[in-house]
Amino acid sequence: MADAPAATTPWQEGGWYASAHRLASPNFGPRPAGACVDLIVLHSISLPPGQYGGDEVQRLFTNRLDWSAHPYFEQIRGIEVSAHFYVRRDGTLWQFVGCDDRAWHAGASCWRGRADCNDDSVGIELEGLEGGPFEPAQYEALAHLCPAIARRYPVRYVAGHEHIAPGRKQDPGPGFDWPRLRAALGWPAEAFPPGTR
């Protein structure tokens, strides 16, 4: 007779989410000692902007993008960036950096009184165009992923890149439906940026 199945965790060592496609990025480092990972930062990205379905974002985050393949890529030539997660238009999930480590998604930033949000946040990129709408499948993916992150880390806040780097960044922008995310998560209003509640 088999015993009842043991409680399973969706997390693997280092903060890798079991149901994401795993593609390790070299663009990461250790978090500072004692970092309190209490923030999820949402972004939008598509390469070239507004074109969906290719593998350019995966290439960017693994330093394998052909900068000469599109005029837009010349504008970002040489940048070394990453995020923990990437949610495609159909909700498919990719992961590039284990959440125990520090991904390079936020840049100069400040939120809940603390600067350099890369130190103590999890970064999620949504495939999309800054300011444009996002797909139901992407909200569904967030509705599973954010609580999973919050079970492993002491998450208390969700914010957009535009909120943690105001004036410098505009993603994900006004096309992102914050009330929809809040309803899906059921987290308190205080978890979300002022103006999105």
130 binds Zn ion (CB under 5 A): no
163 binds Zn ion (CB under 5 A): no
What one-character-per-residue DSSP string does 106-154 give? --S-EETTEE-GGGGEEEEEEES-TTS---HHHHHHHHHHHHHHHHHS-
- For the record, the structure tokens of 50 come out as 């507004």
CA neighbor of 120 nearest in space, from 72, 71, 159? 159
Place of tokens 């902007």: 49
The residues assigned a catalytic role are 125
The residue range among 28-36, 42-50, 89-97, 129-137 that interacts with Zn ion, by the rule CB under 5 A, is 42-50
CB of 169 to Zn ion, least distance (A): 5
120 binds Zn ion (CB under 5 A): no
Residues numbered 6 to 25 that lie near Zn ion (CB under 5 A) are none
Among 83, 161, 176, 181, binds Zn ion (CB under 5 A): 161
Decide if 96 contacts 61 (C-beta within 8 A). Answer: yes
84 binds Zn ion (CB under 5 A): no
CB of 44 to Zn ion, least distance (A): 7
CB of 171 to Zn ion, least distance (A): 4
Among 15, 17, 39, 43, binds Zn ion (CB under 5 A): 43
The residue range among 36-44, 59-67, 82-90, 140-148 that interacts with Zn ion, by the rule CB under 5 A, is 36-44
- Whether the bond between 172 and the residue before it is cis, its omega within 30 degrees of 0, is yes
127 binds Zn ion (CB under 5 A): no
Q: Which is nearer to Zn ion, 11 or 44 (CB)?
A: 44
CA 101, CA 118: separation in Å to the nearest integer? 10
CB of 78 to Zn ion, least distance (A): 18
CA neighbor of 25 nearest in space, from 75, 65, 77, 63? 63
Decide if 73 contacts 111 (C-beta within 8 A). Answer: no
CA 90 to chain centre: 16
CB of 2 to Zn ion, least distance (A): 46
171 binds Zn ion (CB under 5 A): yes
Residues that bind Zn ion (CB under 5 A): 43, 161, 171
